[in-house]
C-alpha cells in the first residue's frame, strides 16, 4: 500500500533532494551536489557525506516537500525525483570519471 502526502509549508532556496529511509536498516539522501548515507533509523550525527566539492544549486521557485510511504520505506522529496535522480547520477558519474582521469595522470608520473 502506498500513502502519499505533502507538506503545507513552501520551502524556498533549498537544493532538490530525494531522501529514503528503509525501515530500521539504513537511509540515504540524494542531492545533485552531495550524497548522504547513514546506518539504522537515526540520521543525526551518523551520516556520511560524499561531496562533489561544488556548492548546492538552490531552486528559485518555492516547493512543497512530498512524502510517500511504501511498505517499510519512507520517501520524501523536494523537486521532481524524475529530474533529481538523473541529474545527480550524471553529476556523480562525471565526478568519478574526472577523478579516474586524474588518478591515471598521477599514476603515469610515477
pLDDT digits (tens, 9 = 90+) for 26-41: 999 999 999 999 999 9
Domain span at 42? 2-109
Check whether 1 has a pLDDT greater than 90.
no
State the pLDDT confidence band at 107, using cuts at 50, 70 and 90.
confident
| pTM assigned to the model | 0.83
Indicate the average pLDDT of the chain.
91
State the pLDDT confidence band at 109, using cuts at 50, 70 and 90.
low
Check whether 47 has a pLDDT greater than 60.
yes
Domain count, the chain: 1
The pLDDT of residue 20: 96
Q: In what order do the strands lie in the sheet containing 34-39?
A: 2-11, 63-70, 73-78, 17-22, 26-30, 34-39, 48-51
pLDDT in tens, 53-87: 788 889 999 999 999 999 999 999 999 999 999 99
Q: What is the dihedral of CA 32, 39, 46, 67, to 10 degrees?
A: 50
Amino acid at each position: 500500500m502506498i500513502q502519499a502526502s505533502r507538506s503545507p509549508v513552501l520551502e524556498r532556496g533549498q537544493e532538490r533532494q530525494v531522501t529514503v529511509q528503509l525501515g530500521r536498516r539504513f537511509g540515504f539522501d540524494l542531492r545533485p551536489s552531495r550524497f548522504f548515507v547513514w546506518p539504522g533509523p537515526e540520521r543525526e550525527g551518523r551520516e556520511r557525506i560524499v561531496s562533489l566539492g561544488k556548492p548546492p544549486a538552490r531552486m528559485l521557485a518555492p516547493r512543497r516537500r512530498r512524502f510517500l510511504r511504501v511498505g517499510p520505506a519512507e520517501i520524501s522529496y523536494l523537486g521532481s525525483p524524475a529530474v533529481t535522480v538523473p541529474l545527480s547520477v550524471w553529476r556523480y558519474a562525471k565526478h568519478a570519471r574526472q577523478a579516474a582521469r586524474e588518478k591515471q595522470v598521477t599514476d603515469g608520473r610515477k
